[in-house]
Amino acid sequence: MTWEETIRFIRTQPEYKYLVDKAYFEEDLILNVQRFMQSDEFRETLKLLNQYQPNAKTILDIGSGNGISAVALALEGYTVVSIEPDSSDTVGAGAIRKLKTHYNLDNLEVYEAFAEELQLPNDSFDIVYARQCMHHAYDLGKFVAEASRVTKKNGLFITIRDHVIFNKNDKEWFLENHPLQKFYGGENAFKPTEYKNAMENAGLEIKKEMKYYDSVINYFPSTKEEITNIFQLSKSKAITHLNNKIGILSKISFLQKLYLKKIGLNKKNFYDENKIPGRMYSYLCIKK
Ligand SMILES: C[S@@+](CC[C@H](N)C(=O)[O-])C[C@H]1O[C@@H](n2cnc3c(N)ncnc32)[C@H](O)[C@@H]1O
């Protein structure tokens, strides 16, 4: 199946409803944009854009898919160029053009292109943004070099939610667990060192590496509260379990600590990104 066929297929399957919803794969393109704009991820991204490029006017959105971010950024007032190699009307450039017409956006241009072959002038954008796209690069070095080439000096290159793997087995584990890989086979991921080497080789200074648990940008649709509360909840459950075993003695904090240690329930183990297949990272770089 192609990527487009995969998305059309999963829309018909009830077991993929949550994924379709949370990954903005609905057929209703406008609804996807509205929901993306209200997301904690997008709000947090806007904060970072304002913090690192407060006077930015122009953005290149690489690999825009069905256009959620390109359109959202244009609606926020940026002048946006969107590039997307897939021409489809539901997950590609066709979808973005439909949204451009719907919202009457003069400040959004759409081109069908790969990041590795940008037909755009040097030093043209204040910000170059790529959401869930860099890990699809067919040539990571070229992808990042081209992104850097079109970024203005002191401009921002921001990559969001890219899958990360640590070794060969970890990559196999990620691919086996990816919900759509069995349909379209197009998933990929790189090691953090591969992303960072590509950035440094392209003349970019890495200002921030956001590991999985560092930002809601990565772990959305989970919220900050959920991520914090789920640990507290697990601790309470463990203490209840202890109470069932030893009764009133479970109130003694020393015994609680000993028990939590015995069952290995601590923050370090709990928030262990190694337990998440293909956990996502985000990067902020400044063009030197
Ligand atoms: C997971 S989708 C993300 C789409 C969109 N950015 C989003 O967050 O919803 C990855 C997108 O990257 C595009 N893509 C794949 N390889 C690419 C490349 N080498 N250069 C630019 N875009 C690419 C795909 O066509 C697809 O639309």
Q: Whose CA is nearest to atom 8 of ligand 1?
A: 131
pLDDT at 17: 97
Q: Rounded to whole angstroms, how far apart are CA atoms 275 and 225?
A: 20
**What's the 184 CA to ligand 1 centre distance in angstroms?**
14
pLDDT value at 44 more than 90: yes
Domain residues of the chain, as ranges?
3-220+276-287, 224-270
Minimum mean pLDDT range among 21-35, 118-132, 260-274: 260-274
| Section 244-258 average pLDDT | 93
Residue 107, C-beta contacts closer than 8 angstroms, at least 6 positions apart: 74, 77, 78, 79, 80
| Section 20-35 average pLDDT | 98
Contact 62, 129 (CB under 8 A): yes
For a ligand 1 pocket test, name from 22, 116, 136, 220 the mutation site with the most ligand atoms within 8 angstroms of its C-beta: 136
Q: Rounded to whole angstroms, how far apart are CA atoms 118 and 115?
A: 6
pLDDT at 159: 98
Minimum mean pLDDT range among 97-106, 129-138, 164-173, 245-254: 245-254
Per-residue pLDDT band at 148 (split at 50, 70, 90)? very high
pLDDT tens digit sequence for 70-81: 999 999 999 999
**What's the 91 CA to ligand 1 centre distance in angstroms?**
10
Q: Which atom of ligand 1 is nearest to the CA of 186?
A: 15
pLDDT tens digit sequence for 102-116: 999 999 999 999 999
Q: Rounded to whole angstroms, how far apart are CA atoms 60 and 207?
A: 19
Q: Rounded to whole angstroms, how far apart are CA atoms 239 and 256?
A: 7
**What's the 24 CA to ligand 1 centre distance in angstroms?**
14
Helix (H) or strand (E) holding 180: none
pLDDT at 145: 98
Q: What is the CATH number of domain 3-220+276-287?
A: 3.40.50.150
pLDDT at 174: 98
pLDDT value at 170 more than 90: yes
pLDDT at 116: 98
Beta strand 280-287 with 79-83 is unpaired
pLDDT tens digit sequence for 93-104: 999 999 999 999
Per-residue pLDDT band at 54 (split at 50, 70, 90)? very high
pLDDT at 228: 87
Pocket lined around ligand 1, Cβ cut-off 6 Å: 62-65, 68-69, 84-86, 114-116, 131-133, 136-138, 143
pLDDT at 288: 96
Q: Which atom of ligand 1 is nearest to the CA of 36?
A: 9
Burial class of residue 257 (count of CB atoms within 10 Å of its CB; 0-12, 13-18, 19+):
exposed
Q: Which atom of ligand 1 is nearest to the CA of 92?
A: 27
Q: Tell me the percentage of the chain whose pLDDT exceeds 70.
A: 100
